[in-house]
Amino acid sequence: MGIVFAPLGLVLVFTAAITPQWREGQARLGMTAPGSLLRSGLKGHGMGVRSGSVETLLLLRSDGLWESCLQVEHSELKQCWPVGGPYQRDPRVRLAQGLVLTSLFLCGTGIVLACIGVRCWTDLPLRGVAATGGLLVVMAGLLSLTALGVYTHNLGRLGMVSPSQGINNHRFPHLSLRPAGSLYFGWLGSCLQVLGGSALLFGFKRPRCLTCPSCPELPVCPVCRSCAEIEPETDVYEVTC
Protein backbone atom coordinates (compact mmCIF):
# COMPACT_ATOMS: atom_id res chain seq x y z
CA MET A 1 0.00 0.00 0.00
CA GLY A 2 2.78 2.41 0.89
CA ILE A 3 4.87 1.61 -2.17
CA VAL A 4 1.86 2.28 -4.43
CA PHE A 5 0.28 5.29 -2.68
CA ALA A 6 3.46 7.29 -2.05
CA PRO A 7 4.61 7.58 -5.72
CA LEU A 8 1.04 8.18 -6.86
CA GLY A 9 0.69 11.02 -4.36
CA LEU A 10 4.02 12.47 -5.51
CA VAL A 11 2.86 12.49 -9.14
CA LEU A 12 -0.45 14.18 -8.25
CA VAL A 13 1.16 16.87 -6.10
CA PHE A 14 3.79 17.52 -8.79
CA THR A 15 1.04 17.81 -11.41
CA ALA A 16 -0.81 20.28 -9.21
CA ALA A 17 2.36 22.31 -8.64
CA ILE A 18 3.20 22.83 -12.32
CA THR A 19 -0.31 23.48 -13.65
CA PRO A 20 -1.82 27.00 -13.54
CA GLN A 21 -5.31 26.02 -12.36
CA TRP A 22 -5.16 26.64 -8.61
CA ARG A 23 -7.86 29.26 -8.93
CA GLU A 24 -9.89 30.47 -11.88
CA GLY A 25 -12.35 33.22 -12.57
CA GLN A 26 -14.60 34.63 -15.25
CA ALA A 27 -15.16 38.22 -16.29
CA ARG A 28 -17.39 39.70 -18.96
CA LEU A 29 -15.78 42.38 -21.09
CA GLY A 30 -17.81 44.67 -23.31
CA MET A 31 -16.27 45.85 -26.60
CA THR A 32 -17.60 49.07 -28.06
CA ALA A 33 -14.58 50.44 -29.95
CA PRO A 34 -14.65 49.35 -33.62
CA GLY A 35 -10.87 49.34 -34.00
CA SER A 36 -9.85 47.77 -30.70
CA LEU A 37 -6.94 45.34 -30.61
CA LEU A 38 -9.01 42.52 -29.14
CA ARG A 39 -11.66 43.00 -31.80
CA SER A 40 -9.02 42.78 -34.53
CA GLY A 41 -7.59 39.63 -32.99
CA LEU A 42 -10.99 37.97 -32.90
CA LYS A 43 -11.50 38.83 -36.57
CA GLY A 44 -8.19 37.19 -37.36
CA HIS A 45 -9.38 33.98 -35.68
CA GLY A 46 -12.58 33.86 -37.67
CA MET A 47 -14.92 35.34 -35.05
CA GLY A 48 -16.99 38.03 -36.67
CA VAL A 49 -17.75 41.19 -34.68
CA ARG A 50 -20.13 43.79 -36.07
CA SER A 51 -18.68 47.29 -36.22
CA GLY A 52 -20.38 49.79 -33.94
CA SER A 53 -22.22 47.12 -31.93
CA VAL A 54 -21.68 46.19 -28.31
CA GLU A 55 -20.25 42.69 -27.95
CA THR A 56 -19.65 40.83 -24.69
CA LEU A 57 -16.70 38.50 -24.30
CA LEU A 58 -16.19 36.01 -21.50
CA LEU A 59 -12.58 36.05 -20.27
CA LEU A 60 -11.27 33.02 -18.37
CA ARG A 61 -8.44 33.76 -15.95
CA SER A 62 -6.51 31.05 -14.11
CA ASP A 63 -3.64 31.35 -11.63
CA GLY A 64 -1.17 28.79 -10.35
CA LEU A 65 1.89 28.91 -8.15
CA TRP A 66 4.27 29.80 -10.98
CA GLU A 67 2.08 30.60 -14.00
CA SER A 68 -1.06 32.51 -14.92
CA CYS A 69 -3.20 32.22 -18.05
CA LEU A 70 -5.89 34.26 -19.77
CA GLN A 71 -8.20 32.85 -22.44
CA VAL A 72 -11.18 34.09 -24.40
CA GLU A 73 -14.01 31.57 -24.23
CA HIS A 74 -14.88 29.71 -27.46
CA SER A 75 -11.68 30.84 -29.15
CA GLU A 76 -8.06 29.86 -29.50
CA LEU A 77 -6.83 33.11 -27.96
CA LYS A 78 -4.85 32.07 -24.88
CA GLN A 79 -1.85 33.68 -23.25
CA CYS A 80 0.21 32.36 -20.31
CA TRP A 81 2.98 34.15 -18.41
CA PRO A 82 5.03 33.66 -15.21
CA VAL A 83 3.34 35.03 -12.14
CA GLY A 84 4.36 38.52 -11.17
CA GLY A 85 3.22 41.69 -9.51
CA PRO A 86 1.26 41.71 -6.26
CA TYR A 87 0.28 38.05 -6.69
CA GLN A 88 3.89 36.87 -6.80
CA ARG A 89 4.88 39.11 -3.89
CA ASP A 90 2.01 37.93 -1.72
CA PRO A 91 3.56 36.20 1.35
CA ARG A 92 0.88 33.50 1.32
CA VAL A 93 1.71 32.58 -2.27
CA ARG A 94 5.42 32.50 -1.41
CA LEU A 95 4.66 30.29 1.59
CA ALA A 96 2.65 27.87 -0.56
CA GLN A 97 5.48 27.70 -3.10
CA GLY A 98 8.07 26.89 -0.43
CA LEU A 99 5.90 24.28 1.26
CA VAL A 100 5.12 22.51 -2.01
CA LEU A 101 8.78 22.41 -3.08
CA THR A 102 9.80 21.06 0.34
CA SER A 103 7.01 18.50 0.18
CA LEU A 104 8.15 17.23 -3.23
CA PHE A 105 11.75 16.89 -2.01
CA LEU A 106 10.78 15.06 1.19
CA CYS A 107 8.41 12.71 -0.63
CA GLY A 108 11.01 11.80 -3.26
CA THR A 109 13.62 11.13 -0.56
CA GLY A 110 11.13 9.07 1.44
CA ILE A 111 10.25 6.93 -1.58
CA VAL A 112 13.94 6.20 -2.22
CA LEU A 113 14.46 5.19 1.42
CA ALA A 114 11.30 3.06 1.36
CA CYS A 115 12.46 1.20 -1.76
CA ILE A 116 15.81 0.52 -0.09
CA GLY A 117 14.15 -0.58 3.15
CA VAL A 118 11.48 -2.82 1.67
CA ARG A 119 14.02 -4.83 -0.34
CA CYS A 120 11.51 -6.95 -2.26
CA TRP A 121 14.37 -9.04 -3.63
CA THR A 122 15.28 -10.37 -0.16
CA ASP A 123 13.41 -12.25 2.56
CA LEU A 124 13.82 -9.73 5.37
CA PRO A 125 13.31 -5.94 4.98
CA LEU A 126 15.26 -3.16 6.63
CA ARG A 127 12.45 -2.05 8.91
CA GLY A 128 14.14 1.07 10.25
CA VAL A 129 14.98 2.42 6.79
CA ALA A 130 11.48 1.71 5.48
CA ALA A 131 9.89 3.37 8.52
CA THR A 132 12.11 6.45 8.06
CA GLY A 133 11.01 6.70 4.44
CA GLY A 134 7.38 6.43 5.54
CA LEU A 135 7.89 9.21 8.08
CA LEU A 136 9.32 11.51 5.40
CA VAL A 137 6.38 10.76 3.09
CA VAL A 138 3.91 11.56 5.89
CA MET A 139 5.70 14.85 6.56
CA ALA A 140 5.58 15.65 2.83
CA GLY A 141 1.84 15.04 2.76
CA LEU A 142 1.26 17.26 5.79
CA LEU A 143 3.34 20.07 4.25
CA SER A 144 1.42 19.97 0.98
CA LEU A 145 -1.89 19.88 2.90
CA THR A 146 -0.77 22.99 4.80
CA ALA A 147 0.11 24.77 1.54
CA LEU A 148 -3.23 23.86 0.00
CA GLY A 149 -5.11 24.95 3.11
CA VAL A 150 -3.38 28.36 3.24
CA TYR A 151 -4.00 28.95 -0.47
CA THR A 152 -7.63 27.84 -0.37
CA HIS A 153 -8.44 29.87 2.75
CA ASN A 154 -7.07 33.06 1.17
CA LEU A 155 -7.98 32.24 -2.44
CA GLY A 156 -10.04 35.34 -3.14
CA ARG A 157 -7.56 37.74 -1.50
CA LEU A 158 -4.25 36.60 -2.97
CA GLY A 159 -2.55 39.38 -4.91
CA MET A 160 -5.52 41.73 -4.68
CA VAL A 161 -4.56 45.41 -4.42
CA SER A 162 -6.33 47.20 -1.60
CA PRO A 163 -8.18 50.45 -2.44
CA SER A 164 -6.05 52.29 0.15
CA GLN A 165 -3.06 52.11 -2.20
CA GLY A 166 -4.62 54.65 -4.51
CA ILE A 167 -5.16 52.43 -7.56
CA ASN A 168 -8.45 52.72 -9.38
CA ASN A 169 -9.69 49.16 -9.71
CA HIS A 170 -12.95 50.20 -11.38
CA ARG A 171 -11.19 50.22 -14.74
CA PHE A 172 -10.86 46.43 -14.68
CA PRO A 173 -13.74 43.95 -14.93
CA HIS A 174 -14.78 42.18 -11.75
CA LEU A 175 -13.35 38.67 -11.49
CA SER A 176 -15.26 35.99 -9.58
CA LEU A 177 -12.60 33.56 -8.33
CA ARG A 178 -13.17 29.95 -7.31
CA PRO A 179 -11.02 26.84 -6.69
CA ALA A 180 -9.82 25.06 -9.83
CA GLY A 181 -8.75 21.56 -10.80
CA SER A 182 -5.14 21.71 -9.65
CA LEU A 183 -6.27 22.15 -6.06
CA TYR A 184 -8.22 18.90 -6.21
CA PHE A 185 -5.21 17.07 -7.64
CA GLY A 186 -3.17 18.46 -4.77
CA TRP A 187 -5.67 17.46 -2.09
CA LEU A 188 -5.92 13.93 -3.45
CA GLY A 189 -2.17 13.53 -3.80
CA SER A 190 -1.52 14.84 -0.28
CA CYS A 191 -4.03 12.43 1.25
CA LEU A 192 -2.43 9.55 -0.66
CA GLN A 193 0.98 10.59 0.65
CA VAL A 194 -0.25 10.57 4.24
CA LEU A 195 -1.90 7.16 3.81
CA GLY A 196 1.07 5.64 1.99
CA GLY A 197 3.59 7.02 4.45
CA SER A 198 1.56 5.77 7.41
CA ALA A 199 1.41 2.32 5.85
CA LEU A 200 5.19 2.30 5.47
CA LEU A 201 5.70 3.69 8.97
CA PHE A 202 3.51 1.18 10.81
CA GLY A 203 3.59 -1.76 8.39
CA PHE A 204 7.08 -3.00 9.27
CA LYS A 205 6.78 -3.90 12.93
CA ARG A 206 9.33 -6.38 14.18
CA PRO A 207 7.58 -9.79 14.15
CA ARG A 208 7.28 -11.90 17.26
CA CYS A 209 9.50 -14.96 17.26
CA LEU A 210 7.64 -18.22 16.82
CA THR A 211 8.46 -21.24 18.97
CA CYS A 212 9.08 -24.81 18.08
CA PRO A 213 5.99 -26.92 18.95
CA SER A 214 8.03 -29.65 20.61
CA CYS A 215 10.58 -27.29 22.24
CA PRO A 216 8.77 -24.09 23.34
CA GLU A 217 11.96 -22.65 24.82
CA LEU A 218 13.70 -22.63 21.41
CA PRO A 219 12.89 -19.91 18.87
CA VAL A 220 11.92 -20.68 15.29
CA CYS A 221 13.79 -18.97 12.47
CA PRO A 222 11.32 -16.63 10.65
CA VAL A 223 12.95 -17.44 7.29
CA CYS A 224 13.18 -21.25 7.22
CA ARG A 225 10.49 -21.88 9.85
CA SER A 226 12.67 -24.46 11.58
CA CYS A 227 14.06 -24.77 15.08
CA ALA A 228 17.15 -22.59 15.25
CA GLU A 229 19.26 -24.68 17.55
CA ILE A 230 18.21 -28.24 16.61
CA GLU A 231 20.16 -30.13 14.02
CA PRO A 232 18.11 -31.64 11.17
CA GLU A 233 19.42 -35.11 11.99
CA THR A 234 18.22 -34.95 15.61
CA ASP A 235 15.08 -36.94 16.37
CA VAL A 236 12.66 -35.10 18.65
CA TYR A 237 10.12 -37.12 20.61
CA GLU A 238 7.17 -35.70 22.46
CA VAL A 239 6.63 -37.39 25.83
CA THR A 240 3.34 -37.15 27.64
CA CYS A 241 2.54 -38.39 31.14
- Comparing 160 with 202, which gets the higher pLDDT? 202
Pair 130, 118: CB distance under 8 Å: yes
The number of distinct structural domains making up the chain is 2
Query: What is the residue range of 191's domain?
Result: 2-25+54-160+174-202
Q: Are residues 152 and 230 in the same domain?
A: no
Residue-wise pLDDT for 59-99, tens only, equals 888 888 998 888 887 777 778 888 888 888 889 999 999 99
Q: Where are the alpha helices (DSSP H) in the chain?
A: 2-18, 37-44, 85-89, 91-118, 127-153, 181-202
Bigger pLDDT: 58 or 209?
58
Neighbours of 204 (CB within 10 A): 21
Could you tell me the CATH number of the domain that includes residue 111?
A: 1.20.140.150
Residue 42 lies in a domain: no
pLDDT digits (tens, 9 = 90+) for 93-129: 999 999 999 999 999 999 999 988 887 667 777 888 8
Same domain? For 148 and 82 the reply is: yes
Are residue 82 and residue 9 in the same domain, yes or no? yes
Q: Let me know whether 126 and 219 are in one domain.
A: no
| 72 and 58 Cβ atoms separated by less than 8 Å | yes
pLDDT of residue 185: 93
- My answer on whether 97 and 197 are in the same domain is yes
Q: Are residues 197 and 120 in the same domain?
A: yes
Residue 45 within any structural domain of the chain? no
Claim to verify: residue 233 and residue 127 sit in the same structural domain: no
The terminus-to-terminus CA distance of the chain in angstroms comes to 49
The C-alpha atoms of residue 20 and residue 180 are separated, in whole angstroms, by 9
Do 69 and 185 lie in one domain? The reply is yes
Confidence of residue 176 (pLDDT cuts 50, 70, 90): confident
User: What is the pLDDT at residue 160?
Assistant: 72
